[in-house]
Structure 1
Amino acid sequence: MASLLSLPQLTPAPVAKPAGRSARPLPGRITCGPRDNRGPLQRGRSLSTEAIHAVQSLKRLTSADRSPAAAIAAASTSLGRLLKSDLVAAMAELQRQGHWSLALAALHVARAEPWYRPDPVLYATFVSSSPDSEDGAGAVDALVEAFLEEKEKGGGFVAGEEDVYKLTRLVRALVAKGRGRAAWSVYEAAVRRGGCEADEYMYRVMARGMKRLGLDAESAEVEADFREWEARLSLPSRARDVLDEMRAREKSSTTTV
């Protein structure tokens, strides 16, 4: 399994303080606000008290050292006892705050849990929230490699059991980030070799995405796969038409006799 320790160290850009605003509250006024640059809660988000405390603890433990090894050790301490829903929420919150490296450390903790399964949607969120930098691009490629290794060790892409919508979200996120080769790796492993039954939307996303990113040969292969898929879909209807025609001829022949 690919190790997340090999991913580049990514740190959020420092947040500039607004000019002209005093750093200290006015005497006699009680003020409160987000701690550690945490933004206000958004509608539709549910973060338990345990998850909030765990995220704050993780950021506090890594304030002096944000190296991958230190982040993973701190994440194991801070997040190791969280329930599945809280750990997933903590990962999402760290991504929202721009602490992508810490979210990766949380993912490392999640991968060791018995409930963990390589979910394309989870990886799609990491791809979408990754920094737009050379290090971020390398980290995305490493994430895709880890995802494909996890799927292979877990039995691969099983035909009929894969959610093509989730896979499409992942390849869409990769195309949007300009990671055409990584998107092609997912498509090849899932659809061309893994037997995952894609749909028209998946083929169109891949064909257009590959062409936009300059991968014309790959785009042509996707279009060929799409034409073959359309031909397979039309076979049952053609067979029914032939059968109906044979029955009509048999009925006409019987009537004549």
Structure 2
Amino acid sequence: MATLKYQPPHFCIPQIPPLKHNYTTPLITISTLRTRTITCGLRNIGPRKPMWRSRHLSTEAIQAVQALKLAKNPTKLNQVFDTRISRLLKADLLDTLCELQRQNELDLSLKVFEFAKTESWYTPNVSLYYDMIMVLGKNKLIEKAIELFEEMKKEGLKPDTRAYTELIGAYFQVSMVEKAMETYNEMKSSGCIPDKLTLMIMVRNLEKAERDDLSVSVKRDFEEYVDDADEFLEEVEKKYARNPLVVNKM
């Protein structure tokens, strides 16, 4: 009996010549073809915000900001509040306020600020006030800034270092140097510790106002409130000082 043998078919694989790179044509690499994911959103720029505020604005908050800015008369503005602002969640409403403040939309910021205080979830919050005081100071509305500062205390809130610093900055914006110094001393007597930002603002503006007597007194506080007093003093002197001062350690 004959035996059948199986032989696999022979495939002819053509030889592909190696590619020669044409240096006039850029190579397309795998990394070039990778898809990149880009997250779009309006960032909160400026001082760090409390952690209960989102890092990026939601679609609802973005639309709310746009709608408020497009409302050109009181009637349309009221409609925006009735149909859009009143429906925002707490986080979205606070983010809307934060973004308006960042864009220095003063009138709209004040309206949203007052509206937020009427919401059922509202509880007095120091940070809500000092952000608004900062914007008022930037726009040199010192009387309104003082009013909010006093309102904050009436609501049972104790001003912290940041709140005092924003009010001090507002006074300096309108060249009320004595009131700024008075508020600085009030902050210290209340138990709030001036931080480096507070001290820097004080020295910078006192030097600018040529109040060397007051500037020297603030520099003496470095030893009490700053760990690296000598190093910090050197930094401040380099930037702002008119009269160099040596801090003598006890």
TM-score computed with the length of structure 1 as normaliser: 0.50
Q: Does the CA-based 8 Å contact 1:180-1:209 persist in structure 2?
A: no
Kindly report which structure 2 residues correspond to 1:176-255, keeping only aligned pairs within 5 A, or say none.
177=173, 180-181=176-177, 183-184=180-181, 186-192=183-189, 194-199=190-195, 202-216=198-212, 218-223=214-219, 226=221, 229=224
Partner of 1:52: 62
What does residue range 61-210 of structure 1 map to in structure 2 within 5 Å? 62-65=71-74, 76-77=81-82, 78-113=84-119, 114-119=122-127, 122-123=131-132, 126-127=135-136, 130=138, 136-137=139-140, 139=141, 141-155=142-156, 157=158, 162=160, 164=161, 166-167=162-163, 170=166, 174=170, 177=173, 180-181=176-177, 183-184=180-181, 186-192=183-189, 194-199=190-195, 202-210=198-206
- Against the structure 1 CA distance between its residues 199 and 103, is the aligned structure 2 distance closer, same or farther, given a 3 Å change threshold? closer
Q: Paired residue for 1:245? A: none
CA distance in 1 between counterparts of 2:58 and 2:213 reads 48
Cα 1:188–1:82 change in 2 (3 A) is farther
Distance 1:95 1:157, change over 3 A: closer
Distance 1:115 1:188 in 2: 29
Evaluate the alpha carbon distance shift between residue 187 and residue 213 of structure 1 in structure 2; reply closer, same or farther with a 3 A threshold: same
Q: Which amino acid aligns with 1:151?
A: M
Deviation by residue 1:132-163 (Cα, 9 ceiling, x = unmatched): xxxx32x2x134213321332144637xxx3x
Q: Is the 8 A contact 2:202 2:218 kept in 1?
A: yes
Distance in 1 (CA, whole Å) between partners of 2:132 and 2:191 is 21
Tell me if structure 2 keeps the 8 A contact 1:75–1:106: no
RMSD between superposed Cα atoms in Å? 4.2
Gaps of 5+ in 2: 1-39, 45-54, 226-250
Given that residues 210 and 216 in structure 1 are in contact (C-alpha distance below 8 angstroms), is that contact kept between their aligned partners in structure 2? yes
* Match in the other structure for 2:18: none
Go from structure 1 to structure 2 and tell me whether the alpha carbon gap of 1:156 and 1:211 turns closer, same or farther (over 3 Å shift): farther
- Rounded Cα–Cα distance in structure 1 between residues aligned with 2:101 and 2:64: 14
| Number of matched pairs | 174
Query: RCO higher in 1 or 2 (8 Å CA, sep ≥ 6)?
Result: 1
Aligned position for 1:17: none
CA contact 1:180–1:210 (8 Å) conserved in 2: no
Q: CA separation in 2, counterparts of 1:216 and 1:111?
A: 42
Larger radius of gyration: 2
Kept in 2, the 8 Å contact 1:50–1:86? The answer is: yes
- Unaligned stretches of 5+ residues in structure 1: 1-39, 131-135, 231-257
| Contact 1:121–1:167 (8 Å) recurs in 2 | yes
- Tell me the CA shift for residue 122 of structure 1: 1.7
Quick one: distance in 2 between partners of 1:97 and 1:199? Answer: 26
How far has the Cα of 1:219 moved from its partner? 3.3
Following superposition, the deviation at residue 105 of structure 1 comes to: 1.4
